[in-house]
Structure 1
Amino acid sequence: MAGIDIRHDHDLSMEQARQAVQQVADSLAQRFGVDCDWQGDTLRFNRPGVDGRIALAPRQVHVTASLGFVLSAMRGPIEAEIRRVLAERF
């Protein structure tokens, strides 16, 4: 499985960061049928071919994901989109 591991610094409060991540999760669920749930300050998401998490820290967001065979071929564009959304939201 191909992996994604992105760390992105931010200046938001934890509550603001959580709201931003929840908005991203809502969009993922609507667009791609991704299941999401919070476990403490970590949002876990999955669907066939993807298993990942978005962990919140006071000054950083950490996104990790394992991509299945089909999506691993698209790792570059997926990672670029994640970085774009992080820059936009944080």
Structure 2
Amino acid sequence: MSAIYLSESHHLDADARERALQALHDYLSKNLRANVTRHDAELVFSGTGYSGTVSLDEEKVHGELKLGLLMRPMKGTITREIKAVLATYLEGN
């Protein structure tokens, strides 16, 4: 299984982190039709051909995405898309 690991700094306060996690939860479940479970500041998700986690602490967001066989050729595209989506949520909007 191929994996993507991300770690990005942010400057979100507690309320903004909560909003970002909820928005990301909604995005994963609605747009990607992933099964998403939340444990405090961590989202655990899975869908057809992928699974992963995203955790949001006071200074960083950490993500791990495991890709199944059919998703591996798209690893570069998926990595760029993840970074773009995370940037949107980490702006604190």
Do Structure 1 and Structure 2 share a fold, with TM-score over 0.5? yes
One-letter amino acid matched to 2:86: L
What value does the CA root-mean-square deviation take over the aligned residues?
Answer: 1.2
Identify the residue that residue 37 of structure 2 maps to in structure 1: 37
Cα deviation per residue 1:35-83 (whole Å; 9 max; x = unaligned)?
1111122110111211100011111000101110011111111110111
One-letter amino acid matched to 1:10: H
Identify the residue that residue 51 of structure 2 maps to in structure 1: 51
Gaps (5+ residues) in structure 2? none
Q: 1:9-88 maps to which residues of 2 (within 5 A)?
A: 9-88=9-88
Identity over aligned residues, as a percent? 28
* Displacement after TM superposition at 1:15 (Å): 3.2
* Displacement after TM superposition at 1:27 (Å): 1.6
C-alpha distance in 2 between matches for 1:18 and 1:44: 15
Deviates most, 25-34 or 76-85: 25-34
Deviates most, 22-31 or 46-55: 22-31
* Displacement after TM superposition at 1:26 (Å): 0.7
8 Å Cα contact 2:21-2:41 kept in structure 1: no
Structure 1's consecutive aligned runs of 4 or more residues displaced over 3 angstroms after TM superposition are: none
8 Å Cα contact 2:37-2:44 kept in structure 1: yes
Tell me the SS of whatever aligns to 1:70.
Answer: coil
8 Å Cα contact 2:7-2:61 kept in structure 1: yes
C-alpha distance in 1 between matches for 2:5 and 2:45: 14
* Displacement after TM superposition at 1:18 (Å): 2.7
